[in-house]
Amino acid sequence: MHTGVCRWGILGTAGIARKNWQAIRNAPNCSLTAVASRDPKRCRRFISACQRHASFDPPPRACDDYQDLLAGDTVDAVYIPLPTVIRKPWAVRAAEAGKHVLVEKPVGANSRDVREILAACRHNNVQFMDGVMFMHSRRLEGIREVLADGQSLGPLKRIASHFTFGATSEFFANNIRTHSGLEPLGCLGDLGWYNIRFTLWVMNWELPAKVTGHILAEHHRPDSPEAIPTDFSAELYFASGVSASFYCSFLAEIQQWANLGGTKGFVYVPDFVLPRYGAEVAWEVSNPVYNVIGCNFNMEEHVRHFAAREYSNSAENSQETNMFRRFGELALSGEPDHSWDAMTLKTQQVLDACLRSARSGGTIVDLSG
């Protein structure tokens, strides 16, 4: 490993890899040295297109295939945005090759997959992390302060989140996220992972005692072995008395909000996953007051607005760039931080339970044991 620089390789040329190419470029302790695809020609086109937008000198090497990248000695860490069903074998092989592993979400098709990946990373003493970018936003520090001050919200009672985008007919016909042989978890894996992760973060990683899930709509394209969820809702019940709900969908127009309600007020985050274009990430704290004065029934808002200076779109201080910088620091330290393992496994466990409930008619799934 080069002193002070984490050398990255990318396994796959998925669309999200373009975004994170730029994040690697903007992270001061990272460089990109190799990219691999099943199709070498596609790999070279991908590198050429990204180099025009955010160049590396020298350009990353176009590898013949995934194994070629892992066998090289110019890569310290791999970013894996491959389809969910093939993430596990390549994440395991990367760890066995001594590469640190950053995996897109959902990390696996189920908790068993995730445990195998984590075991391989621990056995080979490499860093693991999943690609939930908002975990690296400065906004979380501000929200945590509000949750902890005891006055803004009072005791927390309810968490609600909503992450949707209205997919096109082309998306349903051709995108891998609608093919069960590649992405069997549908909107729950693609979007619901974020809802669950945010809820667990708010709860300081307390697992819910019980969950229920409901598949509200499915899509079964002709070339897909099975239908995938396209519209999903769930309820989570915590032993501490907090409850949470989330909704994720490929059918509703884009929204990505979260609301944290307590006995004294609530926090509203308008864009908890992908910050709106601009130079700040914002949140609001509301402490409504209901006043009755004679015949006047007044609902007063009393809203405080907060923001952290943080650009969007893989800029130098964006959550995406922060993710690669932080990962690079951990990889370069030689001492993996296994707290990231637990975050991923708990997210997958809750997702599994929600899907299991939905496929059994919305029955309660007990996680308290």
Quote the CA–CA distance of 4 and 219 in Å, as a whole number.
Answer: 47
Q: Which of 272, 126, 269 is nearest to 195 (CA)?
A: 272
CA angle (226, 229, 202) in 5-degree steps:
140
Q: Which of 173, 105, 139, 144 is nearest to 276 (CA)?
A: 139
| Alpha carbon distances (Å) from 291 to 178, 296, 300 | 50, 8, 8
- pLDDT of the residue at 312: 85
- pLDDT of the residue at 176: 96
Rounded average pLDDT per 10-residue block, the chain, 369 residues: 86 94 96 96 96 95 96 96 97 98 97 98 98 97 96 97 97 97 98 98 98 98 97 98 98 97 97 94 95 91 95 90 97 96 98 98 95
Query: Considering the entire predicted model, what is its pTM?
Result: 0.96
Residues present in the chain in total: 369
- pLDDT of the residue at 360: 98
- Residue with structure tokens 């040295």? 33
Residue 324, CB half-sphere, CA atoms under 13 Å: how many? 33
139-196: per-residue pLDDT in tens? 999 999 999 999 999 999 999 999 999 999 999 999 999 999 999 999 999 999 999 9
Q: Which CATH architecture has domain 6-134?
A: 3-Layer(aba) Sandwich (3.40)
Per-domain boundaries in the chain: 6-134, 138-317+347-366
The SS3 call for residue 291 is: strand
- pLDDT of the residue at 2: 58
Quote the CA–CA distance of 8 and 213 in Å, as a whole number.
Answer: 38
**Alpha-carbon dihedral sign for residues 54, 17, 229, 135:** negative
Secondary structure element (H or E) that encloses residue 327, with its range: helix 319-333
- Per CATH, the homologous superfamily of domain 138-317+347-366 is Dihydrodipicolinate Reductase; domain 2 (3.30.360.10)
CB contact at 8 A, 136 and 319: yes
- pLDDT of the residue at 314: 84
